[in-house]
Structure 1
Amino acid sequence: MNEDRVKGQAKDVKGSAKETIGKAIGDKETERSGQADQVEGKVQKGVGKVKDALRDDS
C-alpha cells in the first residue's frame, strides 16, 4: 500500500472527527475545516491508488 494512501486515510479520518466536533459545538469554522481535510485526504488517497496501479502495471 502506497504511503499516500495511508496519509490520505489519516487526513480523512481526522477531518471527519473535526467536522463532527464542529457540528457538536456549533463551530462552523471547525466544521468547514474538517470537511476540507476530508477532501484533501480523499484526493491524497486517490493519488496513492494511481501510484499503486502504475507500479503494478510495470
Structure 2
Amino acid sequence: MLRCITDNCIIKTAAPYFSNLVRFTVKHILELDSCVRTDIDHQSNQKLSNLVAGHLDHLHY
C-alpha cells in the first residue's frame, strides 16, 4: 500500500517537473539561437555570455 502511494506521488510530481525542465531548456536554447543569429557584428558578446551563464545555472540547479 505504501509503495503504491509513493509511486503514485512520484509519478504525479515527476511529470510536471520534467515538463517544466524541458520547456525552460527549449526557451533558453531559442534565446541563445536568436542572439547568435542576429549578432552579425559580434556586438552582443556580453548578452550571449549572460544567456549562456543563465542556461548553465538553470541546468545545475
TM-score w.r.t. the length of structure 1 is 0.46
TM-score w.r.t. the length of structure 2 is 0.45
Higher percent of residues as helix: 1
* Higher RCO, 1 vs 2 (CA within 8 Å, ≥6 residues apart): 1
Point out the structure with max Rg over C-alpha: 2
